[in-house]
Amino acid sequence: MEGGRIGEAARQVAQLCLPHFEHEENMIFPVLSLLPYLRRGEVPPEMLDVLPVISDFTSKSAALDHHHKLILASVEELRQAAHKEKNREFAEFAYNMRVHESIEDEVIYPSIIMIGKYLRQKHIH
């Protein structure tokens, strides 16, 4: 609903992020939901059902990296617009989006790959 440069930048962020969030729901969350079981050393056979999801995730890593760069560029545009117009709410939102993307790149995505390697190793043994 925001107008001007902030509104335009926010719409661009939303356009990029909505499919991204849907992707996370379908691919990331099912894999991360296994962590409590893995922490306890439990690897029931049905856990292996996520291996195709992890393989699909891994095969799309270059596309994900590109998409993250687009998201970060649009978030940066939003941040700059917010600072220029002295809009603290949107500046904080942009900052939080950058943090979110960093956590995905540095923690969540590597965790998905490690979970896949762990499950394959347990499946082989």
Q: What pLDDT score does 100 carry?
A: 92
Q: Which domain holds residue 30?
A: 4-124
User: What amino acid occupies position 35?
Assistant: L
- Residue 5: CB atoms within 10 A of its CB come to 16
Q: Spell 35-59 as b/e; 16+ CB within 10 A means b.
A: eeeeeeeebeeebeebeebbeebee
Express each pLDDT in 23-41 by its tens digit.
888 889 999 999 999 999 8
Q: What pLDDT score does 2 carry?
A: 62
Count of domains forming the chain: 1
Residues in the chain where the model's pLDDT stays below 50: none
User: What amino acid occupies position 108?
Assistant: I
Q: What pLDDT score does 1 carry?
A: 61
CA distances from 114 to 30, 52, 64, 109, 117 (A): 14, 14, 17, 9, 5
Q: What pLDDT score does 24 carry?
A: 83
